[in-house]
Amino acid sequence: MLQNYENPGRKVWHIHVDGACRGNPGPGGYGGLATTGTEAFEFSGSEKQTTNNRMELMAAIVALSKLREPGEVHIYTDSQYVQKGMTEWLPKWQANGWKTSNGKTVENKGLWIALGTQARRHAVKWHWVRGHNGDRGNERADQLARGAIKQRFAMRGKSGVVSVGQPAMGDHEQFEQKLF
Instruction: Quickly name the fold that domain 12-178 has.
Output: Nucleotidyltransferase; domain 5 (3.30.420)
pLDDT-based confidence at residue 163 (cuts at 50, 70, 90): very low
Burial label, 115 (beta-carbon count in 10 A; 0-12, 13-18, 19+): buried
**14-66 confidence digits (pLDDT tens):** 999 999 999 999 999 999 999 998 999 999 999 999 999 999 999 999 999 99
Q: Which long-range contacts (CB under 8 A, 24 or more apart) does 77-80 make?
A: 77/16, 77/17, 77/18, 77/126, 77/127, 77/128, 77/129, 78/18, 78/128, 78/129, 78/130, 78/131, 78/132, 78/138, 78/142, 79/18, 79/19, 79/53, 79/128, 80/128
Q: Does pLDDT of 155 surpass 90?
A: no
Q: Which of 42, 47, 56, 173 is catalytic?
A: 56
Distance in angstroms (rounded) separating the CA atoms of residues 44 and 31: 4
DSSP letter string, the chain = ----SSSTT--EEEEEEEEEESSSSEEEEEEEEEE-SS-EEEEEEEEEEE-HHHHHHHHHHHHHHT-SS--EEEEEES-HHHHHIIIIIHHHHHHTTSB-TTSPBPTTHHHHHHHHHHHHTSEEEEEE--TTSS-HHHHHHHHHHHHHHHHHHHHTT-S---B---TTS-SEEEEEEE--
Q: Is 107 one of the annotated active-site residues of the chain?
A: no
pLDDT-based confidence at residue 6 (cuts at 50, 70, 90): low
Evaluate if pTM is beyond 0.85: no
pLDDT-based confidence at residue 3 (cuts at 50, 70, 90): very low
Q: Which of 42, 47, 142, 173 is catalytic?
A: 142
Q: Which of 42, 47, 72, 78 is catalytic?
A: 78
Q: Which of 37, 39, 88, 132 is catalytic?
A: 132
Q: Is 135 one of the annotated active-site residues of the chain?
A: no
Q: Is 47 one of the annotated active-site residues of the chain?
A: no
Q: Is 19 one of the annotated active-site residues of the chain?
A: yes
Q: Does pLDDT of 8 surpass 90?
A: no
Radius of gyration of the chain, Cα coordinates, nearest whole angstrom: 16
Q: Which of 14, 16, 19, 172 is catalytic?
A: 19
pLDDT score at 117: 96
